[in-house]
Structure 1
Amino acid sequence: MLTTRQSRDFWLLAITALLVLGAGLGMRDPWPSDEPRFALVAKQMVLSGDWLFPHRGTELYSDKPPMLMWLQATLYTLLRDWRVAFLLPTLLASLGTLACVYDLGRRLWTRKVGLYAAWALLFAVHFTFQAKKAQIDPLVVFFITLANYGLLRHLLCGPAWRWWWLGWFAAGLGVITKGVGVLALFMLVPALVAVALGWPRVRLDLRNWRFWLGPVAFAAAVALWLVPMVLAATGSGSAEYRAYMNDILFRQTAKRYAQSWDHHQPWWYFLATMPSMWIPAFLLVPWAIPAWWRRLRRRDPRYLLLLGWWLLIVLFFSIPHGKRDVYILPALPIFCLALAPLLPGLLRRRDVQWVLGGFAALLTVALLGVGVAMLGGEPGFERRLILERGIDSAVTAALGWVGIALGSWGVVSLVFTGPRRFHIAVMSILAMAWVTYGLVGYPLFNDSSSARGLMRDAGERIGPDAELALVGWKEQNLLMSDRPVRTFGFKRRWYLQLQDGLAWQAEAPERRWLLVQQAALLDCVDRDQAERVGVANRRGWWLVPARAFVGPCQPSAVDLARIRREQGKEDGED
């Protein structure tokens, strides 16, 4: 049974995690770049009833497996509220990741270590930032962490064959969420090293028949999606379905790793990403490295498995040219778990506290500086937000006061915690910032970031009886429309979409309108006859009636080069 203090410490963690990660749930729509795409696919699953082959508009969407979209569609079916349903899977997954880290720390060391590991993960900026977004990465982080949990329960706390099988099954679920779920099984590499070197307390017996039920569980999890999809694609006789199958199974996995076509970064990219995004926990690494080395010299297998797996993940993603910060996010929970046993001692050090105090002070000054700049200290800063984001001066003023309020909270936190507990000040500032971001930032940014305001204005201008089509569109435009919308493909060249839009519009010119991204407009459109709706997501948008067309919309060589460049840039952002 938990003692009163242990119970209080656990519930403080649980309630804080729910507030920090869940603040603002239901208060915003999907925001780019990925959220509207997944929400749109999930919405089309519900409307069409086709859950096996995801669609984005009229085209099949083969960039990612459908696990997240399935969960979003299922939760919408239960809750009938997209604003809650699209964010809830990643919220639950992030809470599940924290639970795995806490319980694994408790079992490998002590309950106090489990709490420290969960607190370090909760306030790691990278984790919290992703947990508050409806993207695939928090979900795959949960499945990889659950897989590691099951494997380590057997390898270090076992024998525990049921957990061993669950670990493999969770890795398989990670694969059908995002192909990198298989990386959880890299935990076997340091385990094999430990066994080969004769380190104690590592249970890895390849001669036991129950060991081999793990790969069977992995294959069973992958088959939940793979078998029905392959049978349907090969049995349908559809070339489109076969192309979907080939793209998602080969081009988007092994080929994307071996021949990265976007997000090119140098080999040391993650060596800069971790210190900048895994803060504040990563600030303690200079003191942690000698302590880890001493424990490894004592042949402690817990550190070998945790640190070895973390380094393998970093190495794996450092090899290809294509790199993004979210690629190594699955390693963050294990990093926090390896750091947690050292935290009680490190936080008693004066130099560590002053480093954390310096971080809290910098954060406080930054918040105050942004607030003052918003309120008039730097007019250019405000103008950039208005022009690029499509928000008005009332929003920038509100953001200014929010920055000043958070900065003031930081000053109070630093004063009241004192130099021996600066880590409390760091958590206090970050917690308040994330909660404020959800409760205040979501409503302030929603219209411009989600394109809801743009689509509402477009609908009001053309009237309720008009028909609308999209050219050079983004997922949020289709998702936020107040009426059924016609599209002419998503990845097709914009000038081809514009030509098809002109032909569609000519069939009923009095009631049909085109909403066109500014970068997709050609000289065939008389802008004096069109209406500029505004800016959303750093893109300008125009309503084009039939009378605005003054030619056949044949692009010049300059137009083709510009469209290829602009559309390629957007594909890279996706």
Structure 2
Amino acid sequence: MLNLRTLIPPDEGRYAEMAREMLFSGDWITTRLNGIKYFEKPPLHAWMSALSFAVFGIGDWQARLWNGVCGIFGVLMVGYTGTRLFGGRSGLYAAMVLASMVFWAGGSQFNSLDLSVAAIMGGALCALLIAQQDDATIWQRRNWMLACWVGMAFSLLAKGLIGIVLPGGVLVLYALFSGDRGVWRRLHIGLGLPLFLLIALPWFLLVAARNPEQPAFFFIHEHWDRFFLKEHHREGPWYYFIVLLLPAAMPWMALAPASLAAARRKLAGRFQPLLLLAIWIVFILAFFSYSSSKLPGYMLPVLPALALLIGRQLDSASRVAALALPVTLGVAGAAVVVAALQLPAVAAVRPLVILAGVVALLGALAGGLLEWRGRRSVALGVLACAVWAMTQLGMAATEPWGREHAGKAMALQLRAALTPSTPVYAVGDYEQSMTFYMAHTVIPVAYTDELAFGLQQEPERGIASLEVFAARWGVRAAQGLPQYAIVKPSAYRELQQRQLPMTQIANDGRRVLVTSPQLAR
């Protein structure tokens, strides 16, 4: 499924292009976007995607491969951990639940950082749960705790400080509410912390040595400011993530209240895994709900813990409670079909959207009948497959929209005419996916946005104004040298008023492709 869709801007195009540039530049320390220093995120995703490109070639599915692998890893770890903690059926159910959660299944097919960090953090959580079991041997506890420390190190390299802030906050709250103060002695800090630093620290030291401006930007602007200030324009109401949980974990959210309520019961023994899972869910949701920057993907680290709780609950849930799942899926499927028939926006892909809704309806019907006959494992498998298929069909239906927004056709048209030295200008906007599909960086004109910090460090890589651009363009046009510009429509009209010597060679309504008049003939 990784190759069915065009890389949708901005995220998918951005991270694919960063990996492509890393591979061809050979610089695995200083992360760049469009050839410009880009320090908003750590390098793990770019490293793994660049490795994917090196092994399998450059393309859409290769760019998404790391997320696909992470999605499968998360499912396997949740299944294994559920089996170790709560028994075989609970582990199987937890794996089914996570694999089919709409946001998990969708995130595993989408090239962004959120799913990978959620899977790595989920792996660290699972390792912690296994290590802290009362019956764990000394060697099991040490080895699994070391795996947890490794997971936190890679979480830091995947998304930044949340890789340690979130697990740390959960542990503090767990020790406070459970009364299990001995958990601190069971973390193997003496071995784990040096291992953590050995993995996580080298890149931060190397990138700071080469780019002294990086630490302040990364730790202050991208962490403190993003959390407390609204300058990223991603704010939302306090209940933003609570509402999003309904579609994110559909239809399994029908059992979430009972699963969380069951986590309040104290199990026999010193370690309380249910309480830890509940705190993980509530704390992470509260943390990002307080933040001034909110995006749907931020809630993904909650899903592995939620799947473990729901998987355990499904093992003992009554038939009436379990039937809430196919009913929820059936309602969702019916809503999809009705929306597909009514909304003009989906006219181009209406059969595909209707098929997604019908699959959900059929899965709900079959799952409900199987549950009624007492075949829960089969029923849950059918429901999981139906939700997964509905999610994939829904994502496939976005392809016409994604292809248009990515500008892929124009990028491939332009790529055929380019040499490495041909200047391509991006006037008024930066097309994240087009750069990847052209396999060619652009010179931003009258545009900064997320490139602002890098352009402050390397101003020669951009052009600040249309006046400067017009002068440079005019010189090359007079010399008959090849050049191209991808122009935002409003900027194109202004350039026409300036009588810039240019000829339009493509216009898809979102952007205009122009070249020098001599080249167009």
Measure, in 2, the Cα distance between the counterparts of 1:499 and 1:540: 23
Query: In structure 2, what is the equivalent of residue 230 of structure 1?
Result: 208
Query: In structure 2, what is the equivalent of residue 126 of structure 1?
Result: 103
Query: In structure 2, what is the equivalent of residue 569 of structure 1?
Result: none
Measure, in 1, the Cα distance between the counterparts of 2:406 and 2:78: 33
Q: Which has the higher contact order (CA 8 A, sep 6+)?
A: 2
Three-state SS of the structure 1 residue aligned to 2:8 is coil
Measure, in 2, the Cα distance between the counterparts of 1:424 and 1:151: 28
* Worse-matched range after superposition: 100-109 or 273-282: 273-282
Contact 1:502–1:546, Cα closer than 8 Å, also in 2: no
Contact 2:93–2:380, Cα closer than 8 Å, also in 1: no
Measure, in 1, the Cα distance between the counterparts of 2:66 and 2:238: 33
How many pairs were matched up? 487
In the TM superposition, what is the alpha-carbon distance from 1:513 to its structure 2 partner? 3.1
Three-state SS of the structure 2 residue aligned to 1:470 is strand
Contact 1:194–1:301, Cα closer than 8 Å, also in 2: no
The answer for unaligned runs of 5 or more in structure 2 is 372-378, 453-461
* TM alignment of 1:141-540, pairs within 5 A: 141-156=118-133, 157-158=135-136, 159=138, 160-179=141-160, 180-182=162-164, 183-193=166-176, 196=179, 204=183, 206=185, 210-231=188-209, 233=210, 241-262=211-232, 263-295=234-266, 301-346=272-317, 348-353=318-323, 355-373=324-342, 381-382=344-345, 396-397=347-348, 399-419=349-369, 421=371, 426-437=383-394, 441=397, 444=400, 447-457=403-413, 468-471=424-427, 472-481=429-438, 485-488=442-445, 491=448, 496-509=464-477, 510=480, 511-521=482-492, 523-526=494-497, 531=504, 533-535=506-508, 540=510
Q: 1:464 to 1:416 in 2, by over 3 A?
A: same
Measure, in 2, the Cα distance between the counterparts of 1:498 and 1:527: 10
Letter in 1 for 2:390: A
* Worse-matched range after superposition: 178-187 or 45-54: 178-187
In the TM superposition, what is the alpha-carbon distance from 1:247 to its structure 2 partner? 0.8
Three-state SS of the structure 2 residue aligned to 1:45 is helix
In the TM superposition, what is the alpha-carbon distance from 1:478 to its structure 2 partner? 1.6
Q: 1:464 to 1:368 in 2, by over 3 A?
A: farther
In the TM superposition, what is the alpha-carbon distance from 1:520 to its structure 2 partner? 3.4
Matched, 1:101 2:78: yes
Identity %: 19
Contact 1:469–1:513, Cα closer than 8 Å, also in 2: yes
Contact 1:532–1:541, Cα closer than 8 Å, also in 2: no
Measure, in 1, the Cα distance between the counterparts of 2:187 and 2:398: 53
Q: 1:82 to 1:295 in 2, by over 3 A?
A: same
Pairing partner for 1:112 from 85, 89, 105: 89
Measure, in 2, the Cα distance between the counterparts of 1:465 and 1:37: 22
Measure, in 1, the Cα distance between the counterparts of 2:309 and 2:294: 24
* Worse-matched range after superposition: 26-35 or 137-146: 26-35
In the TM superposition, what is the alpha-carbon distance from 1:40 to its structure 2 partner? 0.9
* Worse-matched range after superposition: 504-513 or 442-451: 442-451
Measure, in 2, the Cα distance between the counterparts of 1:221 and 1:465: 38
Letter in 2 for 1:161: R
1:273-307 residue CA offsets vs partner (Å, 9 max, x unmatched): 22342222212133334433345699871211111
Measure, in 2, the Cα distance between the counterparts of 1:144 and 1:274: 19
1:18-60 residue CA offsets vs partner (Å, 9 max, x unmatched): xxxxx2x234442122111111111111221111111112421
Measure, in 2, the Cα distance between the counterparts of 1:165 and 1:106: 20
Matched, 1:30 2:11: no
Measure, in 2, the Cα distance between the counterparts of 1:411 and 1:335: 24
1:362-387 residue CA offsets vs partner (Å, 9 max, x unmatched): 232233334434xxxx5xx14xx6xx
Three-state SS of the structure 2 residue aligned to 1:227 is helix
Task: Calculate the TM-score normalised by the size of structure 2.
Answer: 0.83
Measure, in 1, the Cα distance between the counterparts of 2:341 and 2:37: 47
Contact 2:105–2:388, Cα closer than 8 Å, also in 1: no
Measure, in 2, the Cα distance between the counterparts of 1:169 and 1:462: 44
Measure, in 2, the Cα distance between the counterparts of 1:331 and 1:52: 30
Matched, 1:59 2:29: no
Contact 1:164–1:214, Cα closer than 8 Å, also in 2: yes
Measure, in 2, the Cα distance between the counterparts of 1:229 and 1:495: 26
Measure, in 2, the Cα distance between the counterparts of 1:417 and 1:37: 40
Letter in 2 for 1:429: A
Query: In structure 2, what is the equivalent of residue 46 of structure 1?
Result: 23
Letter in 1 for 2:62: A
Letter in 2 for 1:517: K
* Worse-matched range after superposition: 313-322 or 521-530: 521-530
Three-state SS of the structure 1 residue aligned to 2:425 is strand
Task: Calculate the TM-score normalised by the size of structure 1.
Answer: 0.76
Three-state SS of the structure 1 residue aligned to 2:183 is coil
Q: 1:175 to 1:519 in 2, by over 3 A?
A: farther
Measure, in 1, the Cα distance between the counterparts of 2:96 and 2:28: 37
Q: 1:44 to 1:499 in 2, by over 3 A?
A: farther
Letter in 1 for 2:167: A
Measure, in 2, the Cα distance between the counterparts of 1:34 and 1:447: 14
Contact 1:410–1:425, Cα closer than 8 Å, also in 2: no
In the TM superposition, what is the alpha-carbon distance from 1:315 to its structure 2 partner? 2.3
Q: 1:90 to 1:490 in 2, by over 3 A?
A: farther
Pairing partner for 2:67 from 79, 90, 94: 90
Three-state SS of the structure 2 residue aligned to 1:242 is coil
Q: 1:319 to 1:449 in 2, by over 3 A?
A: same
Measure, in 2, the Cα distance between the counterparts of 1:92 and 1:249: 28
Question: CA RMSD, aligned part only?
Answer: 3.4
Measure, in 1, the Cα distance between the counterparts of 2:145 and 2:422: 59
Letter in 1 for 2:301: P
Q: 1:463 to 1:448 in 2, by over 3 A?
A: farther
The answer for unaligned runs of 5 or more in structure 1 is 1-22, 234-240, 386-395, 549-574
Measure, in 1, the Cα distance between the counterparts of 2:204 and 2:294: 27
Measure, in 2, the Cα distance between the counterparts of 1:319 and 1:338: 24
